[in-house]
Amino acid sequence: MDLRERIQTATRQAMKQRASDRLSTLRLISAAIKDRDIAARGEESDVGVGEAEVLAILGKMVRQRRESARTYEEAGRLDLAEQELAEIEVIEEFLPRPMSDAEVEKAVDSVVAEVGAQSIRDMGRVMGVLKSRYQGRVDFGRIGPKVKQRLAG
């Protein structure tokens, strides 16, 4: 079952269970995907975005909610922070298992060797391959400095 089908199934299930908070988050996910489908229609075909793009949308939603939760906590609005964290849990159900630090190091080493990267100038190529293979499984804000360190040293 692909990602879109899993989201639709979860939405129907939340409706049946009358889980309003979960249903609200699932509808936000569906709306974000549909928005991207509409934007892509003008660029390409009527098919919509692929699985990798859906994973990128979900990853972006998680990052946005983490930032919002942090802001709410700093402002003393713990009720809103808890709501954001609950939405993160629902969204993360559809993301692949995150990679461990050891797996990230191994992936960086293998891609650097595969691409034949020698210097920091090759960072873009390395990051491009990593993004195509590990989208949704790793935070590229965290992996960028590791690649930079590997190529500099």
> What is the pLDDT, as a whole number, of residue 115?
86
What dotted CATH number matches 3-92?
Answer: 1.10.1510.10
Q: Is the pLDDT of residue 109 over 60?
A: yes
CA–CA separation, 133 and 126 (whole Å): 11
Q: Between 147 and 79, whose confidence is greater? A: 79
Residue 126: name the closest of 104, 95, 100, 98 by CA: 104
| pTM metric for this prediction | 0.73
Report the alpha-carbon angle 24-33-139, nearest 5: 95
DSSP assignment letter at 76 = T
Each residue's pLDDT tens digit, 33-42: 999 988 887 6
CA–CA distance, 102 with 130 (Å, rounded to integer): 15
Could you give the angle at the alpha carbon of 144 between the alpha carbons of 121 and 152, nearest 5°?
A: 45
What is the rounded distance in angstroms from the CA atom of residue 44 to the CA atom of residue 74?
A: 43
Q: What does the radius of gyration of the chain's CA atoms come to, in whole angstroms?
A: 18
Is 101-152 a CATH 1.10.10.410 domain? Answer: yes
2 CB-side CA count, 13 A: 8
How much is the average pLDDT of 117-127? 87
Confidence band (pLDDT; 50, 70, 90) for 89? very high
Confidence band for 48, pLDDT divided at 50, 70 and 90 = confident
Contact 52, 28 (CB under 8 A): no
The domains of the chain are located at: 3-92, 101-152
